[in-house]
């Protein structure tokens, strides 16, 4: 009987200690605030729609920076910045000159042309980021904000350009693969949509991004 009482007392004490430790753990996590993670990515761009009609070549010049904070175990919020350049040299007839004579006025220009777009995404980002047992974090996110867009055309001795801020939306699907020491590899596909504004038509492209991620949030 005495042994039973001692065993019961020991069980109660261990349960209390376990509960105290668990409470301390969550309290410590809350006091430390949301965990941060970020990524620097190389971005390849495939033009679509109006973007493809102006520049058909795939963009090999793109870089991005993602900054994220885990506000819940499977939810992060942050910002995404980037610079994407699309360029093509063609010899054809063009009816629309950036910042100049619009199509439909009867004016056409023929000759060797340097065409390019410069996009600077400025997006607020939210992600659903579950964590698998092996530490891998697949994610589904969406960015909302804008794109600073510059469209340029060089033909002969003449150059035309216009710059506009376009409202933007960018759904994204990707994965973060931890390596070690708080670092990892981030791979994602981001569908960039810059809606018509400032004289520049609706632009869109598919970004294929790969880079280095870091931070305690991964």
Residues 12 and 55 in one domain: no
Let me know: does 165 contact 197? Beta carbons within 8 Å. yes
Tens-digit pLDDT profile for residues 27-54: 334 446 789 999 999 999 999 999 999 9
Strand 137-155 to 158-178 pairing: antiparallel
Judgement on whether residues 55 and 14 belong to the same structural domain of the protein: no
Q: Which of 184, 183, 190, 191 is nearest to 209 (CA)?
A: 190
Beta strands in 34-130 (DSSP E): 35-48, 61-72, 75-94, 109-128
Which CATH number is 210's domain given? 2.40.160.20
When divided into structural domains, the chain yields a total of: 2
Alpha-carbon gap, residue 196 to 210, rounded angstroms: 28
The answer on 45 and 2 residing in a single domain is no
Say if residue 43 is in the same domain as residue 4. Answer: no
pTM of structure: 0.81
12 and 53 in one domain? Answer: no
pLDDT tens figures, 126-143? 999 999 999 999 999 999
Write the burial class of residue 1 (CB in 10 Å: 0-12 exposed, 13-18 middle, 19+ buried). Answer: exposed
Q: What is the DSSP letter of 123?
A: E
Range of the domain at 16: 1-32
Average pLDDT of the residues of the chain: 85
């Amino acid at each position: 009987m005495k042994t039973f009482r001692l065993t019961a007392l020991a069980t109660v004490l261990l349960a209390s200690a376990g509960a105290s430790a668990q409470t301390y753990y969550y309290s410590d996590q809350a006091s430390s605030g949301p965990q941060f993670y970020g990524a620097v990515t190389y971005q390849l761009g495939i033009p679509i729609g109006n973007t493809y009609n102006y520049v058909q070549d795939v963009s090999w010049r793109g870089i991005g920076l993602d900054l994220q904070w885990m506000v819940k175990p499977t939810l992060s919020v942050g910002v995404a910045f980037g610079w994407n350049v699309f360029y093509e040299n063609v010899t054809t007839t063009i009816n629309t000159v950036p910042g100049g004579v619009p199509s439909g006025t009867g004016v056409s220009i023929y000759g060797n042309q340097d065409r390019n777009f410069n996009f600077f995404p400025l997006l607020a980002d939210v992600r659903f980021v579950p964590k698998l047992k092996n530490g891998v974090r697949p994610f589904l996110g969406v960015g909302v904000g804008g794109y600073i867009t510059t469209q340029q055309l060089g033909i002969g001795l003449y150059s035309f350009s216009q710059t506009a801020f376009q409202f933007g939306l960018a759904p994204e699907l990707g994965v973060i693969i931890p390596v070690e020491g708080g670092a990892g590899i981030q791979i994602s596909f981001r569908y960039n949509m810059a809606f018509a504004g400032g004289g520049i038509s609706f632009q869109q492209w598919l970004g294929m991004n790969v880079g280095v991620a870091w931070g305690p949030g991964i």
